[in-house]
Structure formats: structure tokens, C-alpha cells
């Protein structure tokens, strides 16, 4: 029981120290007044600006270069052209017993070719009965390449 009486006495003292409802209302009003701005701000439009581009000096100038031609080195070859008879048979009305398979040189000549250059000689292939050929050799006689017209067009391509 002593305890209950002690608690009640403490409550009476504490309630006597509490602020009154009117004091609470006054404190709230003062707080709100402190947070409310007392002056107004008027915004005036600023003048508009126009962007202007300022030309920049060139970072470099390009001058036309004079045309220069570098001579392309050419190599001299021996080109051989002719015909090949692939099988025994009648070629241009000749006796088939006398026509033997093999190749016949028509011409040998020196030619000069640069890189990526070629020569395309056209020879009479007797209406496709013989195969035209072209061969390239170095000046010391070393074989480099050959091309045979196996389709009967009469054209071959010589290239290093």
C-alpha cells in the first residue's frame, strides 16, 4: 500500500509542473511565426542573350602537293607463245597419222612487266582444235609460269 501512495504523490507533483494547454498553443504559434518568411521575393526576367559563333583560327592548312610519280620497276621476261595439240587427230584437214600431240612455239620475245601487270595474247586456235599457250621465263631461261587455253577461247594470260 505504501507503494501506491508514493506513486500517487509523485503524479500530483508531476502534473503540477506540466504546462497548461494555453501555454502549449502559444508555443506552437510562436514556432510557426518564426518559420514563416516575413518578406517576399520578386523575380524579374533577365535579359535574353543571343549566341554568336566566333570563328576559330584553322588548326592546320592543307596545301596541295605537287603530283609525284614514282617509277614502277619493271622486269624483263622472255614470253613464249604457241599452240599445243592435246591428242592425235585431224587438225585443219591434215592426215591424222601425221599429227602428234605436243606443243609448237609460234613466237619468243622479250617483254617488260611491272607488278600486277599481265599480257593477254590472242592466237588463232583453229576453231578450238588446238590449245593456245603462253609461258614466261626469266632472262637466264628459268621457267616462271604458263597458261593454257583449255576452253578454246584463243586467249591466255601471262603474268609474273
Quote the pLDDT of residue 15: 65
Instruction: Tell me the mean pLDDT in the region 2-12.
Output: 75
pLDDT band of 38, cuts 50, 70, 90: low
What's the burial of 82, exposed, middle or buried (CB within 10 Å: 0-12/13-18/19+)?
Answer: middle
pTM: predicted TM-score of the whole model, two decimal places:
0.47
Instruction: Name 120's Cβ contacts closer than 8 Å, sequence gap at least 6.
Output: 155, 156, 157, 158
Query: How do the domains of the chain map onto residue ranges?
Result: 75-148
pLDDT of 153: 79
Asked if the model's pLDDT at residue 68 lies above 90, the reply is no
Taking residues 32-53, report their average pLDDT.
62
Amino acid at each position: 500500500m505504501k507503494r501506491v501512495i508514493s506513486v500517487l504523490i509523485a503524479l500530483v507533483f508531476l502534473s503540477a509542473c506540466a504546462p497548461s494547454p494555453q501555454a502549449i498553443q502559444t508555443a506552437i504559434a510562436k514556432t510557426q511565426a518564426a518559420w514563416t518568411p516575413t518578406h517576399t521575393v520578386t523575380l524579374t526576367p533577365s535579359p535574353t542573350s543571343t549566341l554568336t559563333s566566333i570563328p576559330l583560327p584553322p588548326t592546320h592548312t592543307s596545301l596541295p602537293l605537287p603530283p609525284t610519280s614514282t617509277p614502277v620497276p619493271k622486269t624483263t621476261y622472255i614470253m613464249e607463245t604457241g599452240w599445243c595439240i592435246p591428242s592425235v587427230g585431224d587438225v585443219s584437214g591434215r592426215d591424222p597419222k601425221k599429227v602428234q600431240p605436243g606443243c609448237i612455239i609460234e613466237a619468243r620475245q622479250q617483254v617488260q612487266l611491272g607488278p600486277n601487270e599481265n599480257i593477254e595474247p590472242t592466237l588463232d586456235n583453229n576453231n578450238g582444235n588446238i590449245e593456245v599457250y603462253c609461258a614466261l621465263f626469266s632472262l637466264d631461261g628459268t621457267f616462271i609460269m604458263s597458261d593454257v587455253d583449255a576452253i578454246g577461247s584463243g586467249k591466255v594470260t601471262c603474268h609474273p
